[in-house]
Amino acid sequence: MFFCFACSKDKETDAMPQPENPASLTKQNVTTYMVDKNATVETVALFYNLKVMAKTSFAVGQQDAFDGFYKNTGDISDIKKTTGNDPALLGSDFMFITDKNNTGQSDNWFFQQEEKIINNVKQAYNNGMINIFCWHLREPYKEESFYVSDMTADAKAKAFKSILPGGENHEWYKKKLDKVASVFSSLKGANGELIPVIFRPFHEYDGSWFWWGAEFCTADEYKTAYRFTVDYLKNTKGVHNVLYAMSPDNSYDTKDKYLSRYPGDDYVDILGMDNYGDLSTGKGQAGSDLANKKLKIVSDLAIEKTKIAAMSETGYQITPSTTPITGWFSNYVYNALTANDIEVAFVMFWVNGGDNYFVPVSSSSNASDFVDFTNKPKALLQNELPDMYVIPN
């Protein structure tokens, strides 16, 4: 049973609102501001439409929406269970796809996950949705974890440096990128066109929980790895259906700090920020305002650089021992995404699973809060997206 989702919105949903002055971007010069000057026409359109859309609205997404369900009840996304419509953005992960145990054989569990992810991406694209990939890449020595808490002190100190050009694990990293490239190149729509995707490698790099975190590499080393990743996929492997995103965690409170590990305008299409902490228990309106202040920095930079701004991850997980925060979606998250005239193209909530959820289902006590959020004027679900893969006339 769907929750009540009949509330109307005071906005147009069947056409892309055209701003009077979309910065310096025009339909003719889009690739000037993109990483890949040879991007497919659909990928160029996605960049343009995300940039324009951010002036008036944002896409609502969820990680693994077609494969992660509260109480493991599948078939349709939990967002659709609650609102009647799928999310506008589907998050996926290369973690299992590049796992050392993926044999590429049909009876292999990891390969089965790869096939499932690819099918989900195709389904999302065919439904007009936006696709984004992160990559919880396991460290190069034992390939068992991406968390430094599972690594030895020696491995922590060496892992990231080892994948740089000239490093002992550089060829290993190239093979992982070969796999990523093969997946990107296999994503095709009904007419054989390559499906555009957003890729955000080495996310939350300002933290200390992943082996690519700030404690384990210098700013220059991080930039080198990010640039190599982009150049290798784009130039060596000929991948041209990708928009590249950087997505630190929420530690940055000035433009200079945010740009401290920025690879450069030639390597980044989307300026993101993951933020769970400012919207956690007890932070209330002050936390929401702080999250908005940080997103304002990202939005201002995106306007200045003619890039796209996004809240690349967020969420407040409800477990059997935690209760929802009143108004978390419709008040605190919506305020963070819209106050002070910021221009954010999308927000992605993390994955549901088991007895825990980030996005409620219709039976959840905070379902009405989420429905109220998605019914807000600027929030878009799948059914409200314009055609993201064609530049409007």
| Residues known to be catalytic | 204, 313
CA neighbor of 133 nearest in space, from 146, 149, 120? 120
Tokens representing 90 are: 């589907």
CA neighbor of 27 nearest in space, from 56, 3, 49? 49
Do residues 348 and 61 make contact, with C-beta atoms less than 8 angstroms apart?
yes
End-to-end CA distance of the chain: 39
Tokens representing 377 are: 């004027």
Helix axes 109-126, 170-186, angle to 10 degrees: 40
CA neighbor of 242 nearest in space, from 232, 250, 234, 251? 234
Q: SS3 for 188?
A: strand
Q: SS3 for 109?
A: helix
Beta bridge partners of 77: none
Handedness of CA 373, 376, 382, 387 (dihedral sign): negative
In which element (H, E) is residue 58 found?
strand 58-63
Beta bridge partners of 274: 313
CA neighbor of 92 nearest in space, from 46, 34, 131? 131
165: amino acid identity, one letter? P
In which element (H, E) is residue 91 found?
strand 89-93
Place of tokens 């808490």: 149
Alpha-carbon radius of gyration of the chain: 20
Place of tokens 């409620």: 360
Residues with Cβ within 8 Å of 165's Cβ and at least 6 positions away in sequence, in order, are 224, 228
